[in-house]
Amino acid sequence: MRLLFLGDVVGRSGRDAITERLPGLIADYAFDFVIINGENASHGRGLTEPHFAELRAAGADAVTLGDHAWDQRDTQSYIAREPTLLRPINMSDAAPGRGANLIEGRNGHRVLVVNALGRVFMDPIDDPFRAVEAAIAACPLGEQTDAVIVDFHTEATSEIQAMGFFLDGRASLVVGTHTHIPTADARILKSGTALMADAGMCGDFDSIIGVEQEEPLNRFLTGIPQGRFTPAEGEATLCGIAIETDATSGLVTRLSPVRIGGTLSQALPQF
């Protein structure tokens, strides 16, 4: 089974890159399932229903969120009826929607997608490790699901790596989102779980993590906000990771970082 995970979509530039490039990637590399983190897709903060529909129409089988899950007002009203849209599993039980779901892909494969929020350098939230572990225990890899993908949305790469080792042999892929910077540590752990500390973003890298440079730079220099952050609108780079799994175990046999378009060095799936 072949799966593609794409990191945080930032603003119009990121959405346009998904719309323009993702259908071709699915066709060229025969991806069975695609997951996209969409928590910055709408004006850099959150995900509106029309923009969620746009990502789905481009080929996303599942869309995950993060700490900006509720920044767009309409998310609370539509997330409960969208089984392919996930918010972090370790949010309050009062939060609408779900943090994990077993989703069927385009070729009949079943994929458990789990979204979790980290605690290091983040706002206080419930334990992500136990929440993710419970979701996986209820739908074991190789038994009730063909693959398990965990999007761990957090600031600290050490916390993401810890989650990878914690789930080694029980998940197909543990991948970090949130920092918007792709890391060079993509690898397969000893028991067959793929790990990448951050998938990077689908956005314009001629920016400060997807935002026009002026206001972030002003705040670093003066500490005084002068305006809002505005998503950069130059050509986006699609960033993420592609994996291939064993048909029986659901563990990873091959992986490949993905960087397409924009200003970063390019990396196409090596399948």
Tell me which residues are annotated as active site: 68
* DSSP calls for 80-116: GG-TTEE--TTS-TTSSSBSEEEEE-TTS-EEEEEEE
178 appears as a binding residue in the annotation: yes
**Tokens representing 138?**
């209820």
67 appears as a binding residue in the annotation: yes
Across the strands, what pairs with 174? Answer: 150, 195
Cβ-contact 256, 270 below 8 angstroms: yes
Question: What 3-state DSSP class applies to 151?
Answer: strand
The amino acid that residue 191 corresponds to is: S
8 appears as a binding residue in the annotation: yes
43 appears as a binding residue in the annotation: no
28 appears as a binding residue in the annotation: no
CA 260 – CA 199 distance, rounded (Å): 13
Q: Which residues are annotated as a binding site for Fe cation?
A: 8, 39-40, 67, 153, 178, 180
Q: Which residues are annotated as a binding site?
A: 8, 39-40, 67, 153, 178, 180
